[in-house]
Amino acid sequence: MTHNIDTVLDTTGLLCPEPVMLLHKSIRELEVGNTIEVIATDPATTRDIPKFCHFLGHVLVSQAELNGQYRYCIQKA
């Protein structure tokens, strides 16, 4: 299933906690139901971003890793 991405947040090269802090700031600017794609290189995001979504009630639509790059599609709740 393909989702439309409303915004992209590239956190390549940033380390914990910066990717999640930037995600928190960016997701506040989205309309409910819109999606954001997060691109990261920090392996800690594989733990932190799903926990962020669970804690705040956002939907983690997809999560993938390819060649050391992590991609997340999150729908704002």
Catalytic residue among 16, 22, 44, 60: 16
Q: Is position 73 annotated as part of the catalytic site?
A: no
CA dist 59 and 67 (Å) reads 24
Tell me the β-bridge partners of 75.
Answer: 35, 59
Q: Cα–Cα distances in Å, from 34 out to 18, 21, 61, 63, 75? A: 22, 19, 11, 17, 6
Q: Which residues are catalytic?
A: 16
